[in-house]
A and B are shown apart, each in its own frame.
Chain A
Amino acid sequence: MQSPTPGAPQGAPTDTRVHALDHLRALAMLMGVVFHAALAYSPLVQPIWPGADRQNWWGVDAAIWLPHLIRMPLFFLVAGFFTAWLLAQRGGAGLARQRVRRILLPFLLAWPLVHVATSFSTQWAMQYVDHPAPLLVLFRQLMAMPDPPSLPLSTGHLWFLYYLLLFSLLLWGARSLDWDRFLGKWLDAGPAVVSLSLPLLLWPGFMLTGAPHPAPEGLLPQFWAMLIYGPFFALGLGLHGRLHWLAPLQRCFWPGVLLCLGLYALFLLRLAEGATLTSTPWWWAAIEALIAGWGSLLALLAGLRWMQHANALMRYLAASSYWTYLWHLPILLTLQYLLMDHNWAWPLKFALCLSATLAICLLSYEWLVRRTALRRYVG
């Protein structure tokens, strides 16, 4: 039995487990840690990342935006699948109880703690770092004002929990109104139609936000985030009980990979001219929608092809990934602040930050979660 991450059921017998989806979700969450660690060395996000280092390299940007376009869509797709599994196993009331225990409570407890820890380390960096990131310099200037403005409240990197709750609420509403039948009709059209129409559903969402798309961290639900992640959650719901339905798409796996890489090359060409902030031209948004839609489906197909079997290491990573993702950001930012004044090569700093963050998260999981009552909530 594996201890899953948010939205995943706990207590399921092993033989009903779809290992590929567990592994994919763990990889999606761990990819998030790698992504945040790499942002410090990305030229594109230098002005907006508080842990941005003096050194950066264009190759980082070339490498990180592809997984960025795929990992959270894939996460919501898998989350939708497990939501449908829970609904089938425990009913609506059981699903609601599970959402409260494994999403709402961890969110309400972790949110203020993450906020305090991040604020504390950022204040320290503002005071003591000699080569601060541009954003830290801006914070310093703001704090020096006689009446410094306060930053709006945000959910930070825990936004995915907020949206999981929101999608669960939307699912309850849709089921009450019998709208879930539209999902069945969509899937009944066949995998080819779904694969072609998925990017069309995502397109408006990408047009309504900047490129590369930011995290929807605000306290209010964002239309663009619902339009991008909602279809994946819905697709995951629909795929429960019919993963075999994806089998015909395996034939298109390698051509699909090549196509996505080609589209990503176009994406990078446009990115070289700079990011957009509040909205994105239709054709660039279309490229993002195609990469996110097809890339996530390809990742799912890859998981079903190569990660079907139980694996001890992946099992451990899957079990600890929720806890790791909850706490990685304040730890990672603190380490990035501590290394800002050192003249070491950036790959060394990146490797140190990443490995130390993972080590701290995994050790704390081992001591605080794995064999304690916390396992029921975040294990």
Chain B
Amino acid sequence: MSQELNMPLIRLLVVKDWQLFQKQLAALVLAGIVALALLGLAKPWSFYLGSLLLIVVLVAAACFAIGTSLLTERKEQTLAFVMSLPVSPLDMTVSKLAGNLITFGVPFLVLLLGTLLVILGTPLPDGLLTMAILLFGHVLLAYCLSLTVAMQVESEGWNLFVMITSMVLINPFIMLLGQIDSIREPARGNDIVWSTPALAILAAQILLSLAALGYILWRHRRRAAFY
């Protein structure tokens, strides 16, 4: 079954999602700059506060992106209006997927780049890089899973449950990384070490994220109706 995508309309829908998300994104960018400036104070308390704020910003970006473009729209019955446009269910899926990946992807990449610069460009041990990338990998996976559920399941309760649970799991995940010698020990030194467990975790995060996104496309390709 092959369908032609209505690209101009998809682009408009993506722009619409971006504009709706702009205020929240602006607040997140400002919070991200404050977090980086806290790290720049180079004091132990400001490092912990800055790192925490960075994680909060990342998690908030993921939750707000999904919340604004999917959950709120559903609640406000916007879909009924979109159905009146010359748009197919697949167009809608692609626009939601692209819009979400852009609205989440921009702050995600900016913060990832900022974090890498912080680690490599300051006296912090370069070995932290592996652990930092694995943490970003966790947020990416949690986001992709939440997005999959949000696009598949209508229940707001289930969506919030998956979103909160997957993001909160970052805490046990940090503890888990701390238990693995080949990840914990190099984080204190200046050599960047990609041990087998670190590579396996990163590979699993990337593959599962891609699988989640692929699943959405596969499921929605088979749908002929919006409901």
A residues lining the B interface (CB < 8 Å): 152-154, 166, 169-170, 172-174, 176-177, 218-223, 226
Look across to chain B and name the residue whose beta carbon is closest to the beta carbon of A176: B26
Most buried by A among B27, B30, B118, B122: B30
Look across to chain B and name the residue whose beta carbon is closest to the beta carbon of A154: B121
Instruction: Specify which chain A residues have a CB less than 8 angstroms from the CB of B30 in the assembled complex.
Output: 170, 173, 177
Given A173-B27, A173-B30, A218:B123 Cβ within 8 A: no
Look across to chain B and name the residue whose beta carbon is closest to the beta carbon of A169: B29
The residue that B122 contacts in the complex, of A166, A169, A219, with Cβ under 8 A, is: A219
B residues lining the A interface (CB < 8 Å): 22-23, 25-27, 29-30, 33, 36-37, 39-41, 117-118, 120-123
Instruction: Specify which chain A residues have a CB less than 8 angstroms from the CB of B37 in the assembled complex.
Output: 220-223, 226
Q: In the complex, are the beta carbons of A220 and B122 less than 8 A apart?
A: yes
Q: A152-B123, A176-B25, A220-B122 are in contact. List 17 more A-B contacts (CB 8 A).
A: A166-B33, A169-B29, A172-B26, A172-B29, A173-B30, A174-B26, A176-B22, A176-B26, A218-B122, A219-B117, A219-B121, A220-B37, A220-B39, A221-B33, A221-B40, A222-B37, A223-B40
Instruction: Specify which chain B residues have a CB less than 8 angstroms from the CB of A177 in the assembled complex.
Output: 23, 26-27, 30
The docked-state distance in angstroms from the alpha carbon of A218 to that of B121 is 8
Majority DSSP secondary structure for residues of B touching A: helix
The docked-state distance in angstroms from the alpha carbon of A221 to that of B122 is 12
The docked-state distance in angstroms from the alpha carbon of A221 to that of B22 is 23
The docked-state distance in angstroms from the alpha carbon of A222 to that of B26 is 20
Q: In the complex, are the beta carbons of A222 and B120 less than 8 A apart?
A: no
The residue that A220 contacts in the complex, of B23, B27, B29, B118, with Cβ under 8 A, is: B118
Q: What are 29 A-B interface contacts by the 8 Å CB criterion? A: A152-B121, A152-B122, A152-B123, A153-B121, A154-B121, A169-B29, A170-B33, A172-B26, A173-B29, A173-B30, A174-B26, A176-B22, A176-B25, A177-B23, A177-B26, A177-B27, A177-B30, A219-B121, A220-B36, A220-B39, A220-B40, A220-B117, A220-B122, A221-B33, A221-B36, A221-B37, A221-B40, A222-B40, A223-B41
The docked-state distance in angstroms from the alpha carbon of A170 to that of B29 is 8
Look across to chain B and name the residue whose beta carbon is closest to the beta carbon of A223: B37
Look across to chain B and name the residue whose beta carbon is closest to the beta carbon of A172: B26
Q: How far is the CB of B51 from chain A (nearest CB, A)?
A: 13
Look across to chain B and name the residue whose beta carbon is closest to the beta carbon of A149: B123
The docked-state distance in angstroms from the alpha carbon of A223 to that of B25 is 21
Instruction: Specify which chain A residues have a CB less than 8 angstroms from the CB of B123 in the assembled complex.
Output: 152
Instruction: Specify which chain A residues have a CB less than 8 angstroms from the CB of B26 in the assembled complex.
Output: 172-174, 176-177
The docked-state distance in angstroms from the alpha carbon of A346 to that of B120 is 40
Instruction: Specify which chain A residues have a CB less than 8 angstroms from the CB of B29 in the assembled complex.
Output: 169, 172-173
Q: How far is the CB of B169 from chain A (nearest CB, A)?
A: 29
The docked-state distance in angstroms from the alpha carbon of A58 to that of B25 is 51
Q: How far is the CB of A166 from chain B (nearest CB, A)?
A: 7
Instruction: Specify which chain A residues have a CB less than 8 angstroms from the CB of B36 in the assembled complex.
Output: 220-221
The docked-state distance in angstroms from the alpha carbon of A152 to that of B119 is 10
Instruction: Specify which chain B residues have a CB less than 8 angstroms from the CB of A152 in the assembled complex.
Output: 121-123
The docked-state distance in angstroms from the alpha carbon of A220 to that of B33 is 9
Q: How far is the CB of B119 from chain A (nearest CB, A)?
A: 10
Instruction: Specify which chain A residues have a CB less than 8 angstroms from the CB of B117 in the assembled complex.
Output: 153, 219-220
Instruction: Specify which chain B residues have a CB less than 8 angstroms from the CB of A174 in the assembled complex.
Output: 26
Q: In the complex, are the beta carbons of B23 and A176 less than 8 A apart?
A: yes
Look across to chain A and name the residue whose beta carbon is closest to the beta carbon of B38: A223
The docked-state distance in angstroms from the alpha carbon of A192 to that of B117 is 43
Given A166-B33, A173-B27, A218:B40 Cβ within 8 A: yes
Instruction: Specify which chain A residues have a CB less than 8 angstroms from the CB of B118 in the assembled complex.
Output: 219-220
The docked-state distance in angstroms from the alpha carbon of A223 to that of B36 is 10
Q: How far is the CB of A303 from chain B (nearest CB, A)?
A: 31
Instruction: Specify which chain B residues have a CB less than 8 angstroms from the CB of A220 in the assembled complex.
Output: 36-37, 39-40, 117-118, 122
The docked-state distance in angstroms from the alpha carbon of A153 to that of B36 is 16
The docked-state distance in angstroms from the alpha carbon of A154 to that of B123 is 12
The docked-state distance in angstroms from the alpha carbon of A218 to that of B137 is 27
Look across to chain A and name the residue whose beta carbon is closest to the beta carbon of B27: A177
Q: How far is the CB of A370 from chain B (nearest CB, A)?
A: 34
Most buried by B among A166, A169, A173: A173
Instruction: Specify which chain B residues have a CB less than 8 angstroms from the CB of A170 in the assembled complex.
Output: 30, 33
The docked-state distance in angstroms from the alpha carbon of A166 to that of B34 is 11
The docked-state distance in angstroms from the alpha carbon of A123 to that of B29 is 40
Look across to chain A and name the residue whose beta carbon is closest to the beta carbon of B26: A176
